[in-house]
Amino acid sequence: MSAQPGRFGAAFLAEVEAVLAPADAVLSGRYPGDDGSRQPVHTVYVPADRYSAGIAREWGQAALAAAAEHGGLAAIARSTVARTDSDATALAALVENKLRTEPIEDLRVDFEDGYGVRSDDEEDAAVAVAVTAIGNAGAASPPFIGIRFKCFEADVRARGLRTLDLFVSGLAEAGELPTGLTLTLPKVTSTDQVVAMVSVARELERVHGLPDGRIGFEIQVETPQSVMSADGTAAVAPMIHAGAGRVTALHYGTYDYSASLGIAAAYQSMEHPAADHAKAVMQLAAAGTGVRLSDGSTNILPVGDAEAVEAGWALHARLVRRHLERGFYQGWDLHPAQLVTRFLATYAFYRDGFGSAAVRLRNYAHQIESSVLDEPATARALAGFIRRGELCGALTVDEVEAATDLPLTKVRELALHRPPAPGA
CB neighbours of residue 233 within 10 Å: 10
Cα dihedral 149, 142, 133, 164 in deg (nearest 10): -20
The domains located in the chain, with CATH, are: 42-349 (3.20.20.60), 353-416 (no CATH)
pLDDT (mean) for 202-227: 97
Average pLDDT score, the chain: 94
**CA-CA distance, 387 to 411, in Å (whole number)?**
7
How much is the pLDDT for 6?
A: 74
**Structure confidence by residue, pLDDT tens digits, 16-59:** 999 999 999 999 999 999 988 999 999 999 999 999 999 999 99
Q: Is the predicted pLDDT of residue 284 greater than 70, yes or no? A: yes
Query: Backbone phi, then psi, for 250, in 5-degree steps?
Result: -115, 125
Q: Note the pLDDT tens digit of each residue in 295-326.
A: 999 999 999 999 999 999 999 999 999 999 99
Alpha carbons 233 and 215: distance in angstroms, whole number: 28
The residue-averaged pLDDT of 133-150 equals 95
Give the helix ranges, DSSP H, for 157-218: 157-174, 191-208
Predicted structure pTM score: 0.93
Residues 120-129 have a mean pLDDT of 98
For helices 55-69 and 85-101, the axis angle rounded to 10 degrees is: 150
In one letter, which amino acid is 251? Answer: H
Give the rounded percent of residues in the chain with a pLDDT score beyond 70.
96
Q: Is the pLDDT of residue 390 over 50?
A: yes
CA angle 297, 302, 308 (to 5 degrees): 130
Nearest to 161, CA basis, from 114, 130, 134, 127: 127
- Provide the pLDDT confidence category of residue 368 given band limits of 50, 70 and 90: confident
- Give the residue from 115, 125, 109, 123 showing the smallest Cα distance to 53: 109
In the structure, what pLDDT confidence band is assigned to residue 396 with cuts at 50, 70 and 90? Answer: very high
Q: How many other CB atoms are there within 10 angstroms of residue 399's CB atom? A: 17
